[in-house]
Structure 1
């Protein structure tokens, strides 16, 4: 399920079965043109990952809106804000919170987060429309869905 009216109506009817949140966390910054382009590309790819994982695990997973943060911002503040988002989700009650990111710096803060952080190695400068890139994404989605399923056991 995705964060849209139609899916939320279904969610309300089937809350007891949907126990996992997918929360993409995306860096944002405009100071460096090359970095901005890289982050915009990663946002596009993360959108694909989120949608593919949500489809693969349909009926058990809710893909919520991405969390954006300033790349050079204070991570301790962002950890607290993320944990506030997570607390809101756990009140529903979602049992499993999966945070998806391409930003390896989040690994330093993983233990402070109230969810499971999955760091994805970034695809740099690839064309997301090529068969090769789509194949890489499919392979990574398979691996990620297996990791997520392991949290359910």
Structure 2
């Protein structure tokens, strides 16, 4: 399910079966790191969209949690914790966080949910066939992690 009115109507009616929130974590940089920031956003957006597509009916892809890259990761985590707390209060059982920002590795042990860090693969200059192949390879690595989350935390 995507964060669209059409999918949200379905989500409301089928909420008991859609127990997982997928949250892209995207740093924003308006200075010298703007291109890297955009590349991370593009890569993680494509990856999370594909995960949502494969697990449609079980996963809700929420809007990205965006934050200024210059903010401390502790401050970013506090805001993210509020999102997760609200989701769980509303019945979400599993939260999967996906990012290419290595800053999240510093607080990974403090995060109860599944945090997946993926090294950035710049896809902007790839032709479509190669881009599909690269994304497919990344997804092959992610699918077992998602399924393990469900199996190990029913």
* Cα distance in 2 for residues equivalent to 1:73 and 1:100: 19
The aligned residue for residue 23 of structure 1 is: 23
Structure 1, unmatched stretches of 5+, are none
Deviation at 1:129, TM superposition (A): 3.8
The aligned residue for residue 116 of structure 2 is: 118
The list of structure 1 runs, each at least 4 consecutive aligned residues, that deviate by more than 3 angstroms after superposition, is none
2:139 equivalent to 1:133:
no
Tell me if the contact between 1:83 and 1:114 (Cα under 8 Å) persists in the aligned partners: no
The aligned residue for residue 14 of structure 2 is: 14
Q: Root-mean-square deviation (CA), in Å?
A: 1.3
Deviates more, 1:104-113 or 1:51-60: 104-113
2:88 equivalent to 1:101:
no
2:63 equivalent to 1:55:
no
Structure 2, unmatched stretches of 5+, are none
In 2 relative to 1, CA 28–15 (structure 1 residues): closer, same or farther, beyond 3 Å? Answer: same
In 2 relative to 1, CA 128–68 (structure 1 residues): closer, same or farther, beyond 3 Å? Answer: farther
Deviation at 1:128, TM superposition (A): 4.5
Tell me if the contact between 1:128 and 1:134 (Cα under 8 Å) persists in the aligned partners: no
The aligned residue for residue 84 of structure 1 is: 82
TM-score, normalisation: structure 2: 0.92
2:112 equivalent to 1:148:
no
Tell me if the contact between 1:21 and 1:94 (Cα under 8 Å) persists in the aligned partners: yes
Count of aligned residue pairs for this structure pair: 151
* Cα distance in 2 for residues equivalent to 1:140 and 1:124: 13
Task: Spell out, residue by residue over 1:74-106, the C-alpha distance to the aligned partner (whole angstroms, 9 max, x if none).
Answer: 111111110000001111211110010001120
